Amino acid sequence: MKIYKYIIPIILILSSLIRYSYSQASCYTLNARFSDKNTIWVVGEDGLILNSPDRGITWNSFNSNTTNVLYSILPVKNGTYFIVGDNGIILKSNNNGNSWKYYFTQVYEPLLSIASIDTNILIICGENGTILRSDNGGDNWTKIEYDVKTNLNKINLNKIISTANNNFIIAGDNGVLLLSTDEGKTWINKDTLSNQNFYCISSNANGLCAAAGENCGIYISRDFGTSWVNIKSQFAKINLYDIKVLQTGVIIAVGTNGTILRSSDFGASWLKINSNTNYDILTVDFIGSFGFTPIDINNALYTYDGGITWNKKSGFTNNYSNKVNQLSKVKSQTKINDFSLEQNYPNPFNPTTKINYKLSDLSNVNLSVYDVLGNLIKCLVNTSQSAGVYSYSFDGSNIGGGIYFCRININNGRYENNKTIRMVLNK
């Protein structure tokens, strides 16, 4: 039975690796956004936050105080920015990124994308069907429950946008395109008759929307996401990770092995553009005809003609190297002894046992019990807790005797950690 000791950690490790299945992505950046005609923001792995005030000529690094993966940044207004990432992390800055406030929402799913229709109404989407909504500028967040025909509890919702008519649209796995016409309060699943995974979505002010993803599946809407048409593509083996609809009707999509696709006829036909790289391209953004995409830790691509031609420039190297070295030091200082999970007592037990743990600071905490196959038996704790010592009782009266595992996951915004203990229920 000793082999079961390792099942839970292995299952959880594998599940986290699936999310990063890009084929050649050595780039630390996962999302790039313009906040104005000159300023580019970039976020990514290991809590990376960079910006350039001059269209990529010079770069500044900002301290996020976290080693979590950051998936998406949203410029709002007047120096206000939001960032979302792993373990339910939400960051907000009101001073142009110079400092960041952490929001704990009691949600532990990776949060993948954020959008807004004004300074108050914001929507976040993430893994396992997660949708969060704020109507007061991000100070409070509510998890949205929605009733659609498709079971979205285990569907990853990968990208959200707001359209010019104040619709929200979410693109997700298994052909899911969710539409909200009431500021994100309720959602309709637009049936695409597809089971492909959508990784990205974009729109312009004229109602032209484009969603794309697995195996170059591209869907186009001309009515702000109300109806969708599947566009057949000759690039079937390419995954598209980001897409941008320009105001001119030009659409740019990027993806595996340096792929850049361009459509100049509202998505009806596509040309493959030379990118001079074989790395996966994960993000792209435009301001007018000027476009930017980071391609690895040393280089980025720039276009000045609406994506017809792209030029490679270096300039990330020092920022990335310094940031990664800094975060490596932080990680080395945040070891397992920053918190503790004690062995349950008594052990073996029948039918109840006590589980004690200690926190060193305010953290999101999830304490759960699993069986040897990795099935969740009971979630004991799923909330934010202050520094201190905690004790919870687990009652095994309604389950069979055998080996079980208790796992604690903590995330205090700066780092995350976990620990697992083995428990024996004698019956």
Q: Is 14 exposed, middle or buried (0-12, 13-18, 19+ CB in 10 A)?
A: exposed
Is the overall model pTM greater than 0.85, yes or no? no
CA distance to 61, 72, 398, per residue, from 161 (Å): 26, 12, 45
Each of the 427 residues of the chain gets a pLDDT tens digit; together they read 333 333 434 333 333 333 444 444 444 678 999 999 999 999 988 788 989 999 988 888 888 877 788 999 999 988 999 999 988 889 999 999 999 988 877 787 889 999 999 999 999 999 888 999 999 999 999 999 876 545 565 678 889 999 999 999 999 998 999 999 999 999 998 877 788 899 999 999 999 999 999 999 999 999 999 999 999 878 878 999 999 999 999 999 999 999 999 999 999 999 999 998 888 999 999 999 999 998 876 788 999 999 999 998 876 545 544 544 454 444 444 444 468 899 999 999 999 999 999 988 888 888 999 987 778 899 999 888 888 899 999 999 999 999 899 989 888 766 678 788 989 999 8
Find all residues with CB under 8 Å of 127, minimum gap 6, and list them: 19, 109, 110, 112, 156, 157
Domains of the chain and CATH, by start:
24-328 (2.130.10.10), 339-425 (2.60.40.2360)
CB 187 within 8 A of CB 178: yes
